Copies of this chain bind each other. A is one copy, B any other.
Amino acid sequence: MQKAASLKDVARLAGVSTATVTRVLHNNGYVGEETRARVTSALKETGYQLNVVAQSLRKQQTRTLGHLLNTITRNPFFAEVALGLEEQALQHGCNVFIYNVQASAERERLGVETFIRRRTDGIVFTSPVDPANVELAAKAGIPVVQVDWLARVDHNAVLVDNEVGAIEAMEHLFALGHQRIGFIGADPARFRHSADARPSVAEQRLSAYRKSLAAMGIAADEALVQIRPYYYSLDERDAAEGYAGMRELLTLEQRPTAVFATCDILAAGALQAVHDAGLRVPDDISVIGFDDTYAARLSPPLTTVALPMREIGERAADLVFRHMPPPSDAASEPDIVTLPSRLAIRGSTAAPVSQ
């Protein structure tokens, strides 16, 4: 409960000046053998712990990152990103401030202002809500990194190529022999930010589905495309949408032999629908998911497009540090890193029964 010792206290105890204590602490400059010993023992005795607040003020650097998380309640994807970010920040001696934005542009703005006032050395936006807020941070001179999605290419970003991932998923199904492939996904319109913004994740996955079919010369059948209202709530609501989507597909006169769901929760709901219809996965119908949230790793195991979540966070941290002043060399140009996804083949996909 005694207030913490300051440099001055240590200096007094050791009978030296504060400058000498600093020199011992950081092991630079000249310090006599005997003096060093006295200071060291004084440090021990007082239980001195550096005051990082004072240090930050003096050095004009807080060794702190701000992480704006667009949680949309519980999203394991983002939690994993946060972990990677924190891990990597630690490597650089930085700590991370968490700020849950909850899909609100207003809260996101508050978060940015908080971080500006706290003089964080960088800000990471995981799924930015409003591009204007990214701009706000950048204008304050703080290095900014966007994760998962970006509206424009003016700033650093760590992305996943959703299109490639989706195409690989489709090609996996093609390779197994599927031709009639259903789609269950979120409504892209709900996630469009502005007319000139880059396509949303939902849009990318849907368009990749269409492109894949076209590339295979398979005629598009809109009856196979189930666009569902929810996305990213990641609980029973979304599972229910996946369930409903699959139900629709199963009632088709000529039902699909495989279904591509744009996220694991939708896929999980879809699996249940198959099961409840008295059919079996993957014998009667294959299901493939996206994201590799651990919903995919439970039972039954789901084939899915795995995103390197941890690594995304790590790379985001790296980008921040590359752009911290003084900007390392040419680091004034925005860096855009795109990481590959990986197809995790589990038990929910197999060759179709020949008809």
- Extra inter-chain contacts (18) besides given A54-B57, A269-B299, CB under 8 Å: A4-B116, A51-B57, A53-B118, A57-B57, A74-B76, A74-B79, A74-B83, A76-B76, A83-B100, A86-B98, A86-B99, A95-B98, A96-B97, A236-B297, A236-B298, A269-B298, A272-B298, A298-B298
On A, residues with C-beta under 8 Å from B are 1-4, 49-54, 56-57, 62, 67, 71, 73-74, 76, 79-80, 82-83, 86-87, 95-100, 113-114, 116-119, 140-141, 234-236, 239, 243, 265, 268-269, 271-272, 275, 294-295, 297-301
Which chain B residue shows the least CB distance to A264? B298
Contact check, B4 vs A141: say whether CB atoms are below 8 A apart: yes
Contact check, A71 vs B57: say whether CB atoms are below 8 A apart: no
Contact check, B97 vs A95: say whether CB atoms are below 8 A apart: yes
Q: What separation, in Å, do the CA atoms of A118 and B49 have in the docked complex?
A: 9
Instruction: Name the contact of A1 in the complex, choosing from B57, B141, B297 (C-beta under 8 A).
Output: B141
Q: What separation, in Å, do the CA atoms of A271 and B272 have in the docked complex?
A: 13
Q: How far is the CB of A12 from chain B (nearest CB, A)?
A: 20
Number of this chain's copies in the complex: 2
Q: How far is the CB of A103 from chain B (nearest CB, A)?
A: 13
Instruction: Name the contact of A98 in the complex, choosing from B82, B140, B236, B295 (C-beta under 8 A).
Output: B82
Contact check, A272 vs B243: say whether CB atoms are below 8 A apart: no
Contact check, B95 vs A297: say whether CB atoms are below 8 A apart: no
Contact A95 to B99, CB < 8 A, known contacts A49-B117, A298-B268? yes
A-B contact pairs, 13 of them (CB 8 A): A49-B140, A51-B119, A52-B117, A53-B56, A53-B62, A83-B100, A95-B97, A95-B99, A95-B114, A239-B297, A271-B299, A275-B275, A275-B299
Q: What separation, in Å, do the CA atoms of A287 and B33 have in the docked complex?
A: 69
CB neighbours (8 Å) of A114 from chain B are 95
Q: What separation, in Å, do the CA atoms of A298 and B268 have in the docked complex?
A: 7
Contact check, A298 vs B98: say whether CB atoms are below 8 A apart: no
Instruction: Name the contact of A118 in the complex, choosing from B1, B52, B80 (C-beta under 8 A).
Output: B52
Q: How far is the CB of A316 from chain B (nearest CB, A)?
A: 14
CB neighbours (8 Å) of A83 from chain B are 71, 73-74, 100
* Max count, chain B CB within 10 A of own CB: residue among A56, A114, A118, A239: A118
CB neighbours (8 Å) of A80 from chain B are 74
Contact A265 to B57, CB < 8 A, known contacts A51-B117, A52-B119, A113-B49? no
Instruction: Name the contact of A272 in the complex, choosing from B57, B87, B300 (C-beta under 8 A).
Output: B300
CB neighbours (8 Å) of A272 from chain B are 298-300
Which chain B residue shows the least CB distance to A66? B95
CB neighbours (8 Å) of A67 from chain B are 98
Contact check, B140 vs A4: say whether CB atoms are below 8 A apart: yes
Contact check, A297 vs B86: say whether CB atoms are below 8 A apart: no
Q: How far is the CB of A239 from chain B (nearest CB, A)?
A: 5
Q: What separation, in Å, do the CA atoms of A221 and B203 have in the docked complex?
A: 56
Q: What separation, in Å, do the CA atoms of A49 and B120 have in the docked complex?
A: 13
3 closest cross-chain pairs (CB), A and B: A272-B299, A79-B79, A1-B141
CB neighbours (8 Å) of A265 from chain B are 298
Q: What separation, in Å, do the CA atoms of A114 and B83 have in the docked complex?
A: 17
CB neighbours (8 Å) of A234 from chain B are 294
Q: What separation, in Å, do the CA atoms of A1 and B53 have in the docked complex?
A: 23
